[in-house]
Structure 1
Amino acid sequence: MRCPFCGHPDTQVVETRDSDEGDSTRRRRKCAACDKRFTTYERAEIELPSIVKRDGRRTDYDRAKLKSSLMLALRKRPVGAEAVETAIEAIEGKLRQSGDKEVSSTQLGEWVMKELRKLDKVAYVRFASVYRSFDDVTEFVAAVKESGKKS
């Protein structure tokens, strides 16, 4: 694997760990040229279902888009990168377990909110306020109250 810092083709695996779910492997690597360390994740390439948008359009599942949405909700919140990866893996696990060729964006959004609720209540409310596009303050207050309930 090439070093993302200097581009050198020779990197050494320093540490290997399986995820809790056992569906991915985390590897800490060290570059032989610049001595910088970085993390890679290895997972089986499995085709995930297409996402059906509210307007009926269909798109391929995009891990980067999911991560971007989570990171936006978690912006300036005390949640580590590993916790975000774990949440993404949990959501992808639900996508795989569904066994469907297509999953609605509504269902995917509900899974995202469930994971955000476990990670950070503020991020959950941020995401819910955009995702559910509240019409008035009472809906927002209800979401805040919902965030305080046990998962």
Structure 2
Amino acid sequence: MRCPFCSSEDTQVKDSRQAEDGSAVRRRRACNKCSGRFTTFERVQLRELTVVKKSGRRTPFDRDKLARSVMIAMQKRGVEPERVEQMISGVVRQLESSGNSDITSDQIGELVMEGLANLDKVAYVRYASVYRDFRATQDFEDFIVEEKLAAGESSPDEEE
């Protein structure tokens, strides 16, 4: 493993243990050249995934990009990071076990929306606003009414 500080390849594992959710191995490493210490995570990857964008362009799946988009939606929501990480790992596991190495950006978006709906409703709406390209406040209102109807809740008009 290359040192992120001095780029030396002479590093040593000092400690290994399971990450909190059990989906990764956390390794503490030390560089023998600059004495810098850093942490790496090792995860099982079932298959190489390729994302097929709406434009038809193909790019390698990037778990970190997925995590960044979820973290943006989760900003200031007070949900434990372990629960967010479990949700992200669950989405990745579903994608890897789908049997296809080509996945669409829509598949990823729908799985993330499903995960966020179960984790935090505000983050769910935030993510939906980007994923579904909301243009006006009416889009938010329509989405929320749609979700309430899907959940079996009555709409504001029916309550009068």
Q: Same fold (TM over 0.5)?
A: yes
Q: Which deviates the most, 123-132 or 51-60?
A: 51-60
For residue 144 of structure 2, what is the amino acid of its counterpart? V
Instruction: Give yes or no for the alignment of 1:91 onto 2:91.
Output: yes
Partner of 1:145: 148
Contact 1:134 1:140 (8 Å CA) reproduced:
no
Deviation at 1:147, TM superposition (A): 9.2
Deviation at 1:17, TM superposition (A): 2.8
For residue 97 of structure 1, what is the amino acid of its counterpart? S
Contact 2:20 2:82 (8 Å CA) reproduced:
no
Q: For 2:55 and 2:29, how far apart are their aligned partners in 1?
A: 46
Q: For 1:81 and 1:91, how far apart are their aligned partners in 2?
A: 15
- Measured on the aligned residues, the alpha-carbon RMSD in Å equals 3.4
Partner of 1:17: 18
> What TM-score, normalized to structure 1?
0.72
Contact 2:29 2:40 (8 Å CA) reproduced:
no
Q: For 2:2 and 2:79, how far apart are their aligned partners in 1?
A: 28
The verdict on how the C-alpha distance between 1:11 and 1:122 changes in structure 2, with shifts beyond 3 A counting, is: same
* 1:59-112 superposed Cα distances (whole Å, 9 cap, x missing partner): 110111101100110111112322222112111101111111211111110001
Q: For 2:47 and 2:97, how far apart are their aligned partners in 1?
A: 12
* 1:21-42 superposed Cα distances (whole Å, 9 cap, x missing partner): x643345x487x79x8x76432
Percent of aligned pairs sharing the same letter? 43
The verdict on how the C-alpha distance between 1:49 and 1:79 changes in structure 2, with shifts beyond 3 A counting, is: same
- Structure 2: give runs of 5+ residues left out of the alignment: 153-160
After the TM superposition, which residues 2-151 of structure 1 pair with which residues of structure 2 at under 5 Å, given as runs? 9=11, 12-13=14-15, 16-17=17-18, 23-26=23-26, 29=28, 40-134=40-134, 136-137=138-139, 138-142=141-145, 145=148
- Structure 1: give runs of 5+ residues left out of the alignment: none
Deviation at 1:113, TM superposition (A): 0.7
The verdict on how the C-alpha distance between 1:66 and 1:89 changes in structure 2, with shifts beyond 3 A counting, is: same
Q: For 1:60 and 1:24, how far apart are their aligned partners in 2?
A: 21
